[in-house]
Amino acid sequence: MGGIWDWLSLPSILVTLTLIQGYVLIGSTYLVMKTEGALQQTHYRTAKIAAITTLIGAVLITITTPIFLEEARSRLFDAPLVYIFAAIPFFGLLLIWQLLQSLNKKQERAPFIWTILIFLLSFVGLGIIVFPYIIPRSITIYEAAADPSALVFMLTFIGFLIPIMLAYNIYQYVVFRGKVKSSEYEG
């Protein structure tokens, strides 16, 4: 049985701070793409700082995960996962390097694309670490599932809402396409 402060640990703090920096990075690279002038230059600088701090956090998480999680350590350092686990930091460094190069070259779209690829690689790494133990071992996927009638009810409404959400997002991208021009807002 755990205590009230069991959630507060070094790994949880590292993940939280790195995730915040990751969101700063994705937001800054998106705003590089959507702005111009002095505001865009500010976001180039913010994206560089966020890329470096996200990299530091990712390195610390990669080092501490096998130290703090015995189950992950035993699986990640056995073949064939050890090769995949070793490749993820290599590809992560390559993607961060490409991101920083694109920011230094003042490219507008490439930094956002590199950031999206970094996030996707992070999700792959997370999936490798937790798979197949997303649900605790004592609970099977069938025991964790809701009653079939509840699942049908949820699926019906999700099936109804997804087209609405897709239509809204398409509408939003059409309305807000293009760059924000600073000359439109100067007095």
pLDDT at 133: 62
pLDDT at 135: 60
Helix and strand element counts for the chain (H, E): 7, 0
pLDDT at 136: 60
pLDDT under 70: residue ranges of the chain: 1-2, 132-141, 182-187
pLDDT at 95: 97
CA–CA separation, 44 vs 46, rounded Å?
Answer: 6
Residues 6 or more apart from 124 whose CB is under 8 A from it? 88
Angle at alpha carbon of residue 158, lines to 157 and 161, rounded to 5°: 85
pLDDT at 141: 66
Diameter of the chain by CA atoms? 65
pTM for the whole thing? Answer: 0.77
pLDDT at 130: 73
- The alpha carbon of 166 is separated from its chain's Cα centroid by a whole number of angstroms, namely 21
